């Protein structure tokens, strides 16, 4: 089981909205709750994924498919989950020297 498999639907929704760059206030408006509840979702999500900040959460979501994270139907046509997790060698960046 992957760490992200332990997230609730709301935690996934909030994580995706963080990845999109929305503030807690904006997320609360979208979800229909208070900023404090969003902070609670984030705290739980951070604990479950082992991240420490909104930036790390956004990077986690981006590294695991971005908009298609936890929802393969949202991926662009022709893009498989395996391609997101294991990009071809030509797509990988070489380390800076």
pLDDT digits (tens, 9 = 90+) for 21-80: 999 999 999 999 999 999 999 999 999 999 999 999 999 999 988 877 665 444 444 434
- pLDDT confidence of residue 71: 59
User: Residue 25 and residue 10: Cα distance in Å, rounded?
Assistant: 15
Helix orientation angle between 35-49 and 9-19, rounded to the nearest 10 degrees: 100
pLDDT of residue 51: 95
Q: What is the DSSP letter of 33?
A: S
Domains of the chain: 3-85 (1.10.10.10)
Residue 87: is its pLDDT beyond 50? no
Residue 43 has which token pair? 């705290």
Distance between CA atoms of residues 23 and 27, nearest Å: 6
Would the pTM count as exceeding 0.85? Answer: no
Question: Residue 54: which residues within 8 A CB-CB, separation 6 or more?
Answer: 18, 42
- Burial (0-12, 13-18, 19+ Cβ within 10 Å), 44: middle
Residue 3 binned pLDDT confidence (cut-offs 50, 70, 90): confident
Quick one: pLDDT at residue 97?
A: 42
The highest-confidence range among 26-30, 85-89, 93-97, by mean pLDDT, is 26-30
């Amino acid at each position: 089981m992957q760490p992200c498999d332990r997230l609730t639907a709301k935690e996934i929704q909030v994580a995706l909205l963080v990845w999109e760059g929305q503030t807690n206030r904006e997320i609360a408006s979208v979800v229909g709750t208070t900023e404090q509840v969003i902070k609670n979702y984030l705290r739980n999500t951070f604990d479950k994924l082992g991240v420490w900040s909104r930036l790390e959460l956004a990077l986690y979501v981006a590294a695991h498919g971005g908009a298609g994270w936890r929802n393969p139907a949202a991926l662009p046509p022709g893009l498989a989950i395996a391609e997101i997790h294991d990009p071809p060698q030509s797509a990988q960046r070489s380390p800076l020297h």
